[in-house]
Structure 1
Amino acid sequence: MPLLLAACGTESEVAAKPAMWLVEDADTRIYMLGTMHALPAGTDWNRGKIAEAAASADELMLELSPQQLAEAGAIFQALAPRDKPLAMEKRLSPKALAAYRKLEAGNDFGGEKLDDWAVLVLMGQKVAAEAGLSPADGVEAGLTATFRTAGKPISGLESARTQLMLFETLDPATQRTLLASAAENADHALADVSAMAAAWSRGDADALAKVINEDVDRVPAARKAIITDRNRRWSGWIATRMDKPGTVLMAVGAGHLVGTDSVPALLAAEGYKVTRVQ
């Protein structure tokens, strides 16, 4: 998810070789690149096979088109407020509340006025900021600039509203479980982000699946809505797109391309030729 997923690193240049797959038939090639939506400045990922895929692609497919990404903030502001304020003390255990307050320090989230899912989003953004990450240095931003310069079309698999409604429509118990889990683990958030970034950078799909899915796997309803159902929709889009000749670079959050129910795994199960190319 562009609003949640990030990677960690330093200000110096970091060489990265993220995993990428190719699904192809006689006249269609679709590259599937697992991304980090926010990265530290100087992360060198846009080279080698990725540069070749971008150069050969006729179009770029992202989770959100640039226009939809630009609208996400306003839609978040419209969806996030609660009908009635609820103090964080009534949502979190004392231990989770203490960790939440520590993360919130210096930047009041106004959480009592927000739905649980919205507080979760703001927590993720704060962790990214503390890690020195910026969406401007993320994979999507870099690819968008490359394709715009080349005059190639850029599209999105989802709208910003659809993406945020995945959280808004989670049942209250699931939202509260996700929030409580994130708060309880807030002290370890930077370490977890670092582990995720390291796995992504070296293209370790198994390690990446473990790090990214570890928390959400504990909440089946959230996993179904945020990961599994979307993977099925996106693999369906690819299956349809395979009927049209050409080359596409599809760049989506890395968590969607790893694991047993990932987009590449679903396509392979349907009989498509899927090859990891990086």
Structure 2
Amino acid sequence: MMDLKRSIRSMRLASSLRRAATGVAALAGWLSLSAVPAQAQMQTDFSQIEATPALWHIGDEDSDIYIFGTFHILPAELDWQSETVTDAFAASDILMLEADVHSPEAQQTMQALIPQLAFNPPGVTLTSLLDADGQALLAEMAPRLGASVAMLEPMRPWFAQIVLTLGQMQQLGFDPNAGVELVLLSARHEGMTMDYFETAEEQLGFLAGMSETAQVEGLVEGLREMDRLPQELDDMVLAWARGDMDAVNSLFLEQMRDEAPEAYQAIIVQRNHNWVPQIIERLEGEGDYFIAVGAGHLPGEEGVIALLQAQGYSVTRQ
């Protein structure tokens, strides 16, 4: 039995990975889980929500840059495209995303990355990394999510948890094809070009780089907490859709920042600090950008908006 300190640490890792799963929806296409009835339902009817997600603007004489916080996988019935967002998108010449994970070239890259980063070396199975209790928990929970232990066996623990989390999200009505990035990509007007902050390999590296112990603890605790995910997602999507950045900061970031500081630094802070100079570089050039990155990167003292403001730039909420 884990002692209290280890138990708390594993819960922190599980929470961080559940939040990370909402940001790696591109991985959902790698495995199709069987359709099984959801064990819990979302409380909110998202078709009835009048969404006003947060959008910011920064500009100078020859550049207008809109910064939009996204949710990478969403309930299919949620209409999040407010007039403010669609007008800003239509006025932009360049769409800038976190990373290219959707183009044919990116898919080829992912085909090479996934075996390297997400699967165990030959002779190592997922269950061989778990103790008896973890094996029993996986055998109990995987079928509830339309998976099987045999399907999960080749996977590293971090990837197995992402796959199971995405599978549960899809049971609850979340659709990777309804995620903001894919909708924006399909809505590009003629002549709109693409730009990116980072590579797919960099985006996956923070998960694949965790120690094996941390991955196992995160997976097992994530399975134990599976029934909490519907309420967490309900709260997170509502906060995002309403543009409530205080709630986004609380729900997405505070627990990670306070309880899993290493994950918070790697997933959020380091990337934010990497992105801000790239935004400034584009502002100092020419062009009208629509920047779309995960909503959790924008609020808070270490968020992209505050970091830009700290350097003297005027960033206004639209």
TM-score, scaled relative to structure 2: 0.77
Partner of 2:261: 220
1:16 partner amino acid: A
Q: Unpaired runs of 5+ in structure 2?
A: 1-22, 29-41
| Amino acid aligned to 2:203 | Q
Equivalent position to 1:189, from 203, 226, 229: 229
Contact 2:53 / 2:241 at 8 angstroms: preserved in 1? yes
Are 2:172 and 1:131 equivalent residues in the alignment? yes
The equivalent residue for 1:102 is 141
Kindly tell me: are residues 122 and 5 of structure 1, through their superposed partners in 2, closer, same or farther at Cα, counting changes over 3 Å? closer
Identity %: 31
1:3 aligns with 2:25: yes
> Rg: which structure is higher?
2
In the other structure, the counterpart of 1:64 is: 99
- Residue of structure 2 in register with 1:42 after alignment: 77
Give, in angstroms, the shift of residue 166 of structure 1: 1.9
Distance 2:54 2:132 in 1: 37
- Taking a change above 3 Å as real, the CA distance of residues 72 and 222 of structure 1, as seen in their structure-2 partners, is farther
CA displacement at 1:181 relative to structure 2 = 4.0
Shift in alpha-carbon separation, 1:14–1:113, aligned structure 2, 3 A? same
**Distance in 1 separating the partners of 2:239 and 2:25:** 20
Answer yes or no: is the 8 Å Cα contact 2:91–2:288 preserved in 1.
yes
SS in 2 for 1:30: strand
- In the TM superposition, residue 120 of structure 1 has moved relative to its aligned partner by 2.2
How many Å apart are 1:180 and its aligned residue? 4.0
* Distance apart, 1:19 and its partner CA: 0.8
Amino acid at match of 1:192: E
- For the residue of structure 1 that corresponds to 2:57, the secondary structure is strand
Shift of 1:73: 5.2
Question: What is the CA deviation profile of residues 176-230 of structure 1, one whole-angstrom value per residue up to 9, with x for unaligned ones?
Answer: 4433442332110111011101101111111111111255332222111111111
Q: Residue 258 of structure 1 aligns to a residue in which SS?
A: coil
| Conserved 8 A contact 1:209-1:258 | yes
Cα distance in 2 between the residues matched to 1:93 and 1:30 = 51
Measured in 2, the distance between the counterparts of 1:91 and 1:72 equals: 34
Whether 2:52 is the aligned partner of 1:17: answer: yes
In the alignment, structure 1 residue 79 sits paired with structure 2 residue 120: no
User: Could you tell me which residue of structure 2 aligns to residue 199 of structure 1?
Assistant: 239
Aligned length: 274
Which residue of 2 is the match for residue 142 of structure 1?
Answer: 183
Residues 1:256 and 2:297 aligned together: yes
Query: 2:194 aligns to what?
Result: 154
Decide whether the 8 Å contact of 1:256 with 1:262 is kept in 2: yes
Residues 209-260 of structure 1, C-alpha deviation per residue, up to 9 Å, x if partnerless?
Answer: 1111255332222111111111111112111111102210000111111222
The 2-side partners of 1:244 and 1:177 are apart by 46
Name the structure 1 match of 2:155.
Answer: 114
RMSD: 2.8
User: Is the contact made by 2:97 and 2:181 (CA closer than 8 Å) also made in structure 1?
Assistant: yes
Long gaps (5+) in structure 1 = none
What amino acid does structure 2 have at the position aligned with 1:141?
L
